[in-house]
Each structure stands twice: as structure tokens, then as C-alpha cells.
Amino acid sequence: MNELSGLSRLRFLPAFLWAVALIALWEIASWLLLEVLQVPMAQSKLPYIHEIVSTFGQYGNTLANEGWVTLTNAALGFALGAAAGASLAVLMSASKWMERLAFPYAVASQMVPILGLAPIVYGIVRDEQAARIIIAAYITFFPVSLNMLRGLRSAHPYALELMHSYAAKPWTIYWKLRFPASLPGLFSGLKIAAPLAVTGAILVELMGAQHGIGVIMLRNLYYGPSHTYMFWSTVIVGALLGVLSYLIIGWIERLAAPWQPEFRSKGGGR
Amino acid sequence: MDGPLAAQVATQEDPVTHQTITASQKAKRKAGDGKASRIWLPLAGGVLFFVLWELQIFHRIFDLKTYQLPLPSAIGTTLVKNFDLLVNYAGYTLTEAVLGMLIGSALGFAVALIAAIWPRWGSGGVMIVASLNAVPIVALAPIMNLWFGADIGSRIAIVAFTTMAAMAINAHKGMKMIDPLALDLMHSYAATKFEVFRYVRITSSLPFVFTALKINTTASMIGAIVGEFFFASRGLGYLLSNSIKVAKMPLGWSCIVIAAAAGVLFYLVVERLEKVFIKWHPSQRA
Amino acid sequence: MTESTAALVPEIELEQISMQYPAAFSDVLALQDVSLSIAKGEFVSLLGPSGCGKTTLLRIMADLIQPTGGRIEVAGKSAKEARLAQRYGIVFQNPVLYDWRKVKQNITLPLELKGVKKSEREARAMELLELVGLQKFADQYPWQLSGGMQQRVAIARALAMEPEILLMDEPFSALDEFSRERLNEELLSIWSKVGNTIVFVTHNISEAVFLSDRVFVLSPHPGRLSAVAEISLPRPRTKEMRNSEAFFRLIAQIRDSFEGV
């Protein structure tokens, strides 16, 4: 076990050093722009990272509160969209008719710029809360349903015949075989959708809302160069929310479906 | 990754056909009307959807006014009336999307290549780029605007940023997932590291590269449109958000229709290119 | 298990079974008029090259597919009734273990479906694991086991419902020759303890000879029964018999029956 954690530490070491190097490079570039090249609005374009960090210390509470609003709204829409998407996948896998009806549209919707719909949805409901949730749900819906359907179909034909040989009822086949087999697909859909749901929520906030990280992002942008560090802080919070949403889903996946090949320790196998 | 999955889906049909063969005649008839329903069913569903919309059934259910949710007929009329403008703007947006995607994909591929050549340090770079994938585009828009101005450059930068990650991740996967025997073969030819890349790694990464390109067509359209929401003075995204602000809903909807059509067109072009470039791949066999 | 008692009670009876698959130009006759009778407690093999319909025949016995002609009786019932009553256990070419269940839970799956109490299930699973010599691996995931071990788990699962019949479709064909021979011996030892009827599909002549009381030889295009070989080797069979003259003669005899086709 000890050796294992040592190994994984070694695996993340390059990424860590990369991050450190990038931050150093950033600081130097920022200094060059400001002091040497004296570019106009240098700090707005590439602010000192230490200044942003100090802003984080100063306004941490505000950033956390607004970020929390965005995250919870995105999460609510995400949960609704995921539930609806998974249900559609089950319907499509159970009924040939349903599949023929819905599948082409689900695929086509993947080629349509979905986020472009945000202003339209906002235009229809005119309610920031509802618009945020609807957009997050809509964005989540299709990737989840397509990936879940792929997962439901991934059950091996022999495994289905085995169930048939046990004279298992259709419901039992779903419960014991198809659902567990679909979990990897479901989670890959969820992992695609989670950062998108956060993006969708922030987009709605930029178009007009009372609370959320997007609101203070826009406000500090309008205040101009004097608020540049706060603006950059909001951008970073937005990015962190996206990464966080991905990590949370990944963590849930580890709990819900720990048997997947990518979670297998290299040393344990025979 | 796609290969084995596709294969599984195909074999899964087997037990079904086994069960339906009791009477061969019946099976053949079933297959016949299956083909028809594959086209007619979704078509009929789509038409029904539009009819219900046009008859304001949805409006009644959700208590909406036609100025909130315009009717398909109104959208159609507006689309025809503003067709020249829409096509012009669509061209502008597509230019941003295509240029941005090319730059972003090239950068992503370069990251993957570096990571494959120096795996020890390079894969950390791929990890960093992958985490950029989770950064919301909308947060990028104002920054890119500061760097590149309100012009076409800022949207190209946004698109490049958002398409880089998918390409880096997929191309890296493709360069790593190689049949060890193929490498042994190159080794037996006394091939140099460069030749191994030239003849094996890059070719075998192509299917993954096209997977990434297909993901990126959609992502690039979204990036371009969302980028235009805020600081642009042209393009479908600009027209869309402005039409909504002044409550010209049908015009906003026509923008979406045209954007969707442009997105599908872009996707089909990439798919066509894929067919030309990787004819040899199992996924391309009929 | 001797020939004399075996001949008394038939466990599986096929009469004039045929199977026709519809194809684009002309229908393919996978099986033509296959009739055979398998006695209670007998170990028989269905042997033949690919395309001879041996797997199809087994799947008909398992009621996974229905024949287009003929009559079949399994344990005194129709194939479907036998399946619904869980009178047989089946083992496929792949172990088909569920990745998300530990070894023990894979074995209890059929018991779960029949609503057997948890404590009873667990006890039964441990018994079966002992039978196949894998007690130590009860709480491992399938991927932590070798291919041969996985197939042993599949056999234990097939025995979970205490079926009278065990249907095995080339269960060891994916294993290397050494594991295959070891598992052959183990299967015979399991069979000597459980004493059920086994129908074993294989394309390996020596495997069929080593295991079986009788070998049904099938030939392709169309699939039909071309010979039945009585294997007179004494029981229990031992490793050493693989080198006996009688063993080689039986193999040669069966190989010759293919030449004649």
C-alpha cells in the first residue's frame, strides 16, 4: 500500500512541476508586460498571481458564497437532466420504437451548438433561477442518455443468455445485469456533462441574474482595471467549479462502480 | 476504444436474430419494415412535434405567449426574409470556428506529440491541458477580448483554447495505444525513434485524431457563438443575443436554426475527411 | 455411472432435430435430423469441426434457441420447462462473470434470482468454491483471477442450483494446453462428487476422449451426427491414461471417422 501511494505521488510529480513552472512563467510574463514592455492595461491582461491570491484571501467569503450559488443551481439542473437522460436511455433500450423515434434526434442534438440556446431559454422563462436549471439540465440530458444507452447495450450476449437460462424476468435482467453494466457509460456521460452544466449556469448568470459567480464576474469587468484582480479571481473560481464538478463525479464513480478496469491496481492482478 | 465497443453492439444483435428465425419468412418481413420505420418513425415524430408547436399546444400546456416562444411559421418567415444576413453571419462564425479549431487542434496535437516523445514529463503536460477542458468558455471570453480585442481574433483564441484539450487527450491516447508487436517489427527494421513516429505512432493515432476533430466541430461552434454573445459586432452569436435583448424572438430562433445547420455541415465535412484519410480503419468498414 | 445403469434412464432425448437459419440467398441447414439419447449420469461430448452445429445443438438443449424441426425432451420435460425449472446449469466459452460482483456473489447470482435466503446462499457458495478449490478467492473480483480460475468459478455458478444436467460449450477452448488438461482432470473429479449428466461441446479430440463415456461425432454442411464412439477407458481416469495405447487408439479411431466424411 505504501509503495502504491509512493508510485502515484511519482505519477503526479511531473504535473505538479508543470503547474509550478507555468505559474513562474506567468509571474515573469506579467512582470515583463507591466514593467519592461509597459503594455497598456498590462495587469488586466496578465495579472500577478500573488495579487490574485491576496484577493482570494480578502474576498474569499464572497467568492465562495457566489460560487456555491452557481454550483448548487448547476447541480440541481444537472441532476434533473441526468435523471431524464438516463430514463430516456432505459426507454430506448427497452423499446425498439422509442429508440427509432428518439435516437436520431439525440445524435443530431450533439451536433447543434446547445449553449447557443441559453439566451433563447432565458428569453422564454425570464427567471434566472429556472433558466439556469433548465440550461444545465438540457446540456446534461443528451450526453448522459447517449452514453447510458451505449452502456445498457454493452452487456455481453453470453451474459444475456445466462440470464435467459435462469429464466430471469425482464425486470431482473435490468436490475442484475444491464444497470450495473451501464454504469461506466453513465459516468462517462456525467463526466462530459458536469463541467458543461457549470458553464451553462455561468452563461445564464452573465445574461442577467442577482447571484452567482457569473454576476460578480460581469460586475468587476465593468468596474474596469481597478477591479481586475477580483475579476480574475472570479474567472479562476469559475474554472475551479468546472474542475470540481468533474472531480466530484469521478469520486462518486469510484464509490458506485469501483470494479472498472481503470481503477484496478497494477500490482494486485495475477 | 471505439472499435471494441462498436463490435460489442454488433454482436449483441445475434441472440435477437437467433430468436426471430423460427420462421424465416416472418424475419425477412420484419427486417423490411424495420428499415422503413427507421426513417418514417422519427420523421413522423418530428412533424408531429412541429404541428403541436404550430397549433400552440405547447403554449397552452406551459402557459407561454407567442412572443416568448415564436411559432415555427414565424421563424420560417423571418429566416427567409433575413436569409442573406444570416448566411453572411454564419460564414463569419464558421470562419472563427474553423480557424480556431485548426489552431487549437494543432496545438493539442503538438502537446500530445511532445508527451509521447518524452513520456515522463510530457504526460504531466497532457494532464494540465486536460484540466483546461473543465474551464467554462464564458470565463475565457472577457479575457480573450482583453488580449485580442473585440475582433475575430478573440473568438479564434476562445475556440482554439476549448478545442486544444480534446485533441491532446485523444491523440495522446492514440499514440500510446499501439500493438507492441508493431513496435517490435519497427525495432527489427532498426528504425530510428523518428521513423517509429513517422510510420507507426502518428498513423495509428489518426482514428483518435478524427474522433477529437468530430468532438471539436461542435465545441468550436459553441465556442464561437458564445464568444460572440459578449463583445462582437458581427456573427450569429451577436445577432442571437441582440435579437433576444430587443425581443425579436423569431430572429433569434432563425440564428439557432442556421447555426445548427452550419454545425451539421461542418461535422459532415470532417466525417467525410475521416472517410478519406482512414479508409483502413475497422470503423470505416461497411 | 457405468454403462449398464446409464442405459436405463434417458436424461436428454433428441428426435430428428433440425435447424434452419434464414440467409440471403438460400437458407442454411445448420442441423439435419439429429437423433440421440443421453443417459442419466452420463458424460458425453459433442465433437466436430467448426460449423458442424455442435454449439447449436447444445443451445437447443438449453432452450436458448428453438429447433425448426424435431422433438426434444430434457429431464422428462420440454426444453423450455426444463429451463424454467432450472434443471440444467450452463458454462460458456467465456466465463461471463459479472465484473461488479465478487467471486462469491457471482456464484450466488442464480440463487438470488430464485429468492434463496442470504445465509443459505453464502453457505452454498462456499461449498461450491471448496468443490472447485477456490475458497481463498471468495472475496476477490473476477479480474484478479487467472482465466482457468475464472472458468472454475463459472462451473461453480452452473452447479449452484444443483442441476441434474451440466451443459458446457467449449469451456476450456480459450485456455492453454496445460491449464486445459489440469481442468479436464478437475472437472472429472467434480463430476465424480456431483454425479450429474454432462454434455460437453469441444473440437479437441483428446479432450473428448479423456472426459467422456460416449463421443458424438458431428460433421458439417449440413450438420449431422456421423458417428458415436464408446470410450471404454476405465474410470476414474488418470493423467497416466493420456499416454496409454488405448487412449491413442481411440483418438485415431475418431480421427478416421472424420476422414471418411
Q: Which DSSP string corresponds to C75-134?
A: TTB-HHHHHHTT-EEEE-SS----TTS-HHHHHHHHHHHTT--HHHHHHHHHHHHHHTT-
> Which is higher by pLDDT, C130 or B186?
C130
Subunits adjacent to chain A (3 or more Cβ pairs under 8 Å): B, C
Apex B147 CA angle, B145 and B152, nearest 5: 55
pLDDT at B62: 83
CB–CB of B24 and C20 under 8 A?
yes
**Sheet (strand C69-74) strand order:** C28-39, C10-21, C69-74
Is beta strand C224-230 parallel, antiparallel or unpaired with respect to C214-219? antiparallel
- Percent of chain C at pLDDT > 90 equals 59
Residue in the block written with cell 445548427: B260
Cα-flanking dihedrals φ and ψ of residue B242, to 5°? -70, -40
Confidence of residue B6 (pLDDT cuts 50, 70, 90): very low
- Check B253 against A157: CB less than 8 A apart: no
Q: Residue B276: its pLDDT value, please?
A: 85
- State whether C27 and B24 contact (CB < 8 Å): yes
User: Beta strand C197-202 with C165-169: parallel, antiparallel or unpaired?
Assistant: parallel
pLDDT at site A12: 72
What is the average pLDDT across B228-251?
Answer: 87
- Write out the DSSP string of A26-82: HHHHHHIIIIIS--TTHHHHS--HHHHHHHHHHHHHHHHHHHHHHHHHHHHHHHHHH
With a CB-CB cutoff of 8 Å, which residues 48-107 of chain C face chain B?
59, 64-66, 68
DSSP-based three-state secondary structure for C71: strand
Interchain CB distance below 8 Å, C113 and A162: no
pLDDT higher than 70, residue B20: no
CB atoms inside a 10 Å sphere around CB A42: 21
Q: Enumerate residues 21 to 40 of chain B having a beta carbon within 8 A of any beta carbon in chain C.
A: 21-22, 24, 27-28
Rounded mean pLDDT of B29-44? 68
Cell 490574485: give the residue: A52
C20 touches chain B (CB under 8 A): yes
Q: A199 by DSSP, 3-state: which?
A: helix
Alpha carbon A225 to its chain centroid, in Å, reads 30
> For residue range C213-243, what is the model confidence (pLDDT) as tens digits?
999 999 888 888 989 999 989 988 998 999 9
| Residues C150, C148: Cα–Cα separation, whole Å | 5
| B:C CB pairs within 8 Å | 18
Query: Does an H or E element contain C37, and which?
Result: strand C28-39
Q: Whole-angstrom Cα distance, residue B274 to residue B269?
A: 9
Q: Is 90 exceeded by the pLDDT of residue C71? A: yes
- CB–CB contact A165 C93 (8 Å): no
Question: Could you tell me which of A203, A254, A188 has the C-alpha nearest to residue A74?
Answer: A203
Contact between chains at C84 and A260 (C-beta distance less than 8 A): no
Q: Which secondary structure element, helix H or strand E, spans residue C226, and what is its range? A: strand C224-230
Instruction: Please indicate whether, in this complex, the C-beta atoms of B229 and A217 are within 8 angstroms of each other.
Output: no
Q: What is the pLDDT of residue B139?
A: 77
Question: Mean pLDDT in chain B?
Answer: 80
Cβ–Cβ < 8 Å for A191, A144: no
Residue C200's SS3 state is: strand
B11 to chain C, closest Cα gap in Å? 15
Q: What is the pLDDT of residue A190?
A: 92
- Are the C-beta atoms of residues A81 and A192 closer than 8 Å to each other? no
Task: Return d(Cα C122, Cα B62) in angstroms, integer.
Answer: 54
Of residues C165 and A224, more confidently modeled? C165
Nearest by Cα to B124 from B172, B180, B171? B172
**Cβ-contact A193, A139 below 8 angstroms:** yes
Query: Average of pLDDT values for B221-246?
Result: 88
pLDDT of B239 reads 92
Neighbouring subunits of C (3+ Cβ pairs under 8 A): A, B
Nearest-neighbour CA in chain B from A73: distance (Å): 15
For residue C86, give the chain A residue with the closest CA.
Answer: A166
Mean pLDDT of C131-149: 91
Question: What per-residue confidence (pLDDT) applies to C46?
Answer: 95
What is the overall mean pLDDT for chain C? 89
| Contact between chains at A18 and B127 (C-beta distance less than 8 A) | yes
Q: Which domains does chain A have, with CATH numbers?
A: 58-264 (1.10.3720.10)
Report the predicted TM-score, pTM, of the whole model to 2 decimal places. 0.79
For the segment C27-54, the average pLDDT, to the nearest whole number, is: 90
Q: How far apart are CA B146 and CA B124, in angstroms?
A: 29
Q: Which of C17, C18, C21 is best to mutate for the B interface (most B CBs within 10 A)?
A: C21
Residues A237, C1: Cα–Cα separation, whole Å: 75
Q: For residue C15, report the phi and psi dihedrals to the nearest 5 degrees.
A: -130, 115
The count of C-alpha atoms lying within 13 angstroms of the C-alpha of B173, restricted to the half-sphere facing its C-beta, is 16
What's the pLDDT at C260? Answer: 58
The verdict on a CB contact (< 8 Å) between B19 and C65 is yes
Q: Which of A161, B15, A153 is nearest to C91 (CA)?
A: A161
pLDDT of the residue at B284: 64
Burial class from Cβ neighbours inside 10 Å (0-12, 13-18, 19+) for residue C95 reads: buried
List CB contacts of B81: < 8 A, sequence separation 6 or more.
Answer: none
pLDDT at residue number B207: 87
Contact B139 A239 (CB under 8 A): yes
**Of A171-185, B15-29, B80-94, B261-275, which range is least confident?**
B15-29
* pLDDT over 90 at C201, yes or no: yes
Closest residue in B to C23 (Cα) is: B24
Query: Which stretches of chain A score pLDDT less than 50?
Result: 1-5, 267-270
Distance from CA of C67 to the nearest CA of A (A): 16
Whole-angstrom CA distances from B165 to A11, B42, B109, C93, C130 are 20, 34, 9, 41, 51
Bigger pLDDT: C144 or C8?
C144
B13 touches chain C (CB under 8 A): no
Tell me what the mean pLDDT of segment B252-263 comes to. 90
Burial C9-34 (b: 16+ CB within 10 A, else e): ebbbebeebbbbbbeeeeeebbbbeb
Residue C261 has a pLDDT of 52
Measured between beta carbons, which residues in chain B are less than 8 angstroms from residue A41? 146
Residue C200: per-residue pLDDT: 96
C73 with C17: CB under 8 angstroms? no
Q: What is the pLDDT of residues B81-136, one digit of tens each?
A: 999 999 999 999 999 999 999 999 999 999 998 888 887 777 777 878 877 777 77
pLDDT at C24: 66
What backbone torsions phi and psi does residue C75 show, to the nearest 5 degrees? Answer: 50, 40
Q: How far apart are the first and last CA of chain A?
A: 17
B8 touches chain C (CB under 8 A): no
